Amino acid sequence: MNAVSILSTLEFGVVFGMLALSMYSALSTGLLSMASIMFAGCGAFLFAQLTDGLGWPPVLVLLCAAAIGGVAAIVLSALLLHLESHYIAMATIAIVLMTRVAVLNLPAVTGGVNGTPILTELSPLYIAGALLVAVWVFARLRRSRYGLASELAREDTTVASTLGVNIRWLRTVSFIISGCVGGLVGALLASLYGYIDADTFSMDLAFTALAAVVLGGAFHWLGPLIGGVVFTILPELLRGWFERADQLVDGVILVVIMIFLPRGLVDPLRWKQLVRRLRGRGEPGDGMPAGPAAAEPAQRTATEAIGS
């Protein structure tokens, strides 16, 4: 692989990791949602209309793409979040399928069966800037009351509700964040692909993004980013050795991860256990409190989540 090919692959990996991050946002509160693909489609076709059609500056277009994803998420959250979690997953799968039908039947906006060529190619600096913003936002959210409440709600919504966490509000916020990131990713993908149509944002992309979350780890925002990059780079490295290397590598990676690392590559719990062992505190007798004292940090975390 030459330098240009490496840079292109890295760009795709970063953007795909951000798509997985969009899916992680909803998953962090206990929602399995495929709607990130629909958000990305909205952002992609808006990017085509505003850049090639109206000549808007890229920064403004990216902001608009994130905004339209957020608006779509607000509408969907009002319609779906009163359902049980498994019904939400099924409903968002249906929405992705409906999005394809809508793209085919709106030729004035999407190009219909002919698709839409993208003439505007964004500089890698835009991708790097979008990544930095996403990392900053999710890092701040994880340390906030919202992040604490999300972890609690994902583990047990009943306990979270008992402690005063507004589950509906929490999941609405996570859905909106997912929409904003998804819309932004759609615009970036449109620029990278150079062409988008009804099959660009399909269920295949949804399941691959979900697999990236599983690979990287769904318990920390860094996991989906790493999972997306790995899912993009490894098949490219092995493409010369195997036909359909992407499907082969994806399948092997998922099986290995589920067997040996069920919580993904990025697992904060495993990190903490490793640090404690290195410090000689792996056992209660080595300085780590046992019994009620060991439960105090978890109780404080739950208490801090109240009111978020």
What digits encode the pLDDT tens for the residues 106-155? 998 898 999 999 998 999 999 999 999 999 999 999 888 999 999 888 88
Residue showing tokens 């809508």: 102
Higher pLDDT among residues 258 and 97, named by residue = 97
Pair 144, 102 in one domain:
yes
Pair 277, 227 in one domain:
no
Q: Domains in the chain: how many in total?
A: 2
* Contacts for 137-146: CB closer than 8 Å, 24+ residues apart: 137/177, 138/21, 138/25, 138/221, 139/221, 141/177, 141/221, 142/220, 142/221, 144/308, 145/304, 145/305, 145/307, 145/308, 146/170, 146/173, 146/308
Instruction: Indicate the pTM of the whole model.
Output: 0.83
Confidence (pLDDT) at 249: 66
Domain with 122 in it: 3-267
pLDDT per residue as tens digits for the range 244-296: 656 666 677 777 777 777 777 777 767 677 677 777 754 444 444 444 444 34
Pair 58, 130 in one domain:
yes
Pair 180, 46 in one domain:
yes
Pair 102, 244 in one domain:
yes
Sign of CA dihedral 177, 192, 202, 38: positive
Pair 128, 274 in one domain:
no
CB neighbour burial string for 110-128, b if at least 16 within 10 angstroms, e if fewer? bbeeebbebebebeeebbe
CATH number at residue 26: 1.10.3470
pLDDT per residue as tens digits for the range 183-219: 999 999 999 999 999 999 988 899 889 888 988 888 8
Report the pLDDT averaged over residues 174-181.
96
Pair 274, 260 in one domain:
no
Pair 137, 179 in one domain:
yes
pLDDT per residue as tens digits for the range 24-77: 999 999 889 999 999 999 999 999 999 988 889 999 999 999 999 999 999 999
Pair 236, 284 in one domain:
no
Pair 263, 280 in one domain:
no
Distance CA 145, CA 133 (A): 20
Chain CA centroid to CA 109, Å:
26
Distance CA 19, CA 225 (A): 8
